[in-house]
Amino acid sequence: MKYVDEFRDQGLARDLAAALDRTLTRPRRIMEVCGTHTMAVFRSGLRSLLPEGLELVSGPGCPVCVTSAAHVDAFLALAGRPGVRVATFGDLIRVPGSDGTSLAHARSQGAQVEVVYSPMDGLTLARNHPDETVVFLGVGFETTTPGVAATVRAARQEGLSNFFVFTTQKTMMPPLMALFGDPDQSIDGLLCPGHVSAIIGAAAYGPLAERYHLPCVVGGFEPVDILQALLLLVRQLEEGRSEVENAYTRVVSPAGNLQAQSLVAEVFEPVDMEWRGLGVIPGSGLQLRAPYRAYDAQECLGVEVVSATEVRGCLCGRILQGRARPPECPLFGSRCTPSTPIGPCMVSSEGTCSAYYNYSLSDSN
């Protein structure tokens, strides 16, 4: 683990923070668009090292947070059906639907809800429970989609007839294009998500830099990685450049992971998708292509996604767009805490509200 330690080096971190301080001449707002970045920033105490005037805001990159209440309602309806067992990644089970209940509630009422670590675990469940209908709830971005695609392909090869996927898989570029296409937004630069970039490639951010003159830097997740990426962003801003730069070359290439891309393209096709707080974004979701429709839970099990209102008073929608900070929400820290979450941003460990609540020294006051 020597390798990782270099990226946590105190001296290096301090030097980078000092360089940031010297380079920054006026206030700048940088958006980090990945839940893992949000967590890493808070956990490492990195915010306490940043120069005053450099603000980090979180974007729509926490997969649980952007899952719409309408989708959670549909998950709940499905989990409540007799003979159905749903398989899901961990942090989704606490996300409230439009009436405030979650899969965790449903489980306590007797619904079969299993936390799995990989979509392939869903196949195992289907094999072990041949008399039940097993549905994997597909939530996530480019990082989880290849795994879901591989699982669906394996299910077809095996001829499993009791396994389905309820896909709400999303892609990162459409919401970013929508967000930065809005002339009202006030973000100066983008810290691009390391894991997503490993799949889609650094070049994918080209349109943001060209069309919206937005500096984009791909960064890793160790504190020093993040500081390096921030320094590149601030330099671009100070020098009036807007380019895509890659500060995470040990993992991310310009073209990304072509094998994963072709697997996803074989199994999935783009579809309009609803995002929590952002509404329906054209082409931002993925659905199974025709040859794989026999595994599509929405189509085969007749699950309806009925539009639902978000929780009243919750600012998650604005927070996910970088337009508000958690302490601005009147419910933050009073009615809404990690034990009693009202909005999804407080549920997921990578949600912005939860990160502020759990880790922030001064911001929550």
Partner 1 sequence: MSPETILLDHGSGGLASQQLISSLFLKYLDHPVLAALEDSAVIQNGPGRLALTTDSYVVDPLFFPGGDIGSMAVHGTINDLAMRGARPLGLTLALILEEGLEMAVLERVIASVARACKESGVPVLSGDTKVVPRGKADKLFINTSGVGLVADDIELASRLARPGDKIILSGTMGDHGLTIMASRAGLALGGNLQSDSMALHHMVADLLAGLKTGSVHVLRDPTRGGVATVLGEIARAAGCSVEINEAALPLRPEVRGGCELLGLDPLYLANEGKLLAVVAPEVADAALELLQAQAGGGESAIIGTVGLDRSTKVTMQTVIGGTRIITPLHGEPLPRIC
Q: Which parts of 201-240 interact with partner 1 (CB under 8 A)?
A: 223-224
Binding mask 19-48 vs partner 1 (x if CB under 8 A, - otherwise)? ----------------xx--x--xxxxxxx
Stretch that binds partner 1, among 73-81, 135-143, 238-246, 289-297 (CB under 8 A): 135-143
* Measured distance CA(4)–CA(100) in Å, rounded: 40
Give the chain's end-to-end CA distance (angstroms, integer): 37
- Report the nearest approach of partner 1 to the CB of residue 5 (Å): 9
Q: Which is nearer to partner 1, 95 or 187 (CB)?
A: 95
Amino acid at 271: V
CB of 179 closer than 8 Å to CB of 321: yes
Segment contacting partner 1 by CB under 8 A, of 170-178, 262-270, 311-319, 342-350: 342-350
The C-alpha atoms of residue 30 and residue 58 are separated, in whole angstroms, by 9
Cβ 102 vs Cβ 96: under 8 Å: yes
Burial tier of 338 (Cβ tally within 10 Å: 0-12, 13-18, 19+): middle
Comparison of 118 and 360: residue with beta carbon closer to ligand SF4 = 360
Which residues, 6+ apart, have CB-to-CB distance to 60 below 8 Å?
33, 66, 175, 179, 275, 277, 278, 320, 321
Report the partner that residue 336 touches, choosing among partner 1, ligand SF4, none (CB closer than 5 to 8 A by kind).
Answer: ligand SF4
266-272: long-range contacts at Cβ-Cβ below 8 A with a sequence spacing of 24 or more? Answer: 266/149, 266/153, 267/148, 267/149, 267/152, 267/153, 267/292, 268/145, 268/149, 268/167, 268/169, 270/171
Which tokens go with 87?
Answer: 């398989």
CB of 207 to ligand SF4, least distance (A): 30
Number of residues in the chain: 365
Which residues within the stretch 46-85 sit at the binding site for partner 1 (CB under 8 A)? 46-49, 63-64
Which of 125, 316, 320, 355 binds ligand SF4 (CB under 6 A)? It is 316
Residue with structure tokens 């947070």? 65
Cβ distance to partner 1 smaller for residue 215 or 343: 343
Closer CB to partner 1, 141 or 295, in the complex: 141
Which H/E stretch holds residue 137?
A: strand 133-138
Question: To the nearest whole angstrom, how small is the minimum distance from the Cβ of residue 44 to partner 1?
Answer: 5
The CB-of-54 to ligand SF4 minimum distance in angstroms stands at: 23
164 CB burial (10 A radius; 0-12, 13-18, 19+):
buried
Stretch that binds partner 1, among 68-76, 149-157, 184-192, 346-354 (CB under 8 A): 346-354
Examine residue 332 and tell whether it contacts ligand SF4 (CB under 6 A): yes
Among the listed ranges 9-17, 21-29, 248-256, 274-282, the one in contact with partner 1 (CB under 8 A) is: 9-17
Give Cα separations from 273 to 53, 74, 104 (angstroms).
35, 14, 25
Segment interacting with ligand SF4 (CB under 6 A) among 2-10, 127-135, 262-270, 312-320: 312-320
Judged by CB under 8 A, does residue 115 bind partner 1? yes
Q: Which stretch binds ligand SF4 (CB under 6 A): 35-43, 81-89, 242-250, 309-317?
A: 309-317
How many angstroms separate the CA atoms of 87 and 239, rounded? 49
Rule CB under 6 A: is residue 343 a binding residue for ligand SF4? Answer: yes
* 130/122 Cα distance (integer angstroms): 12
**Which residues make up the interface to ligand SF4 (CB under 6 A)?**
314-316, 319, 326, 329, 331-332, 336, 342-343, 345-346, 353
Residues that bind partner 1 (CB under 8 A): 1, 4, 8-10, 13-14, 35-36, 39, 42-49, 63-64, 89-94, 115-117, 121, 139-141, 143-144, 195, 223-224, 337-339, 348-350, 357-361
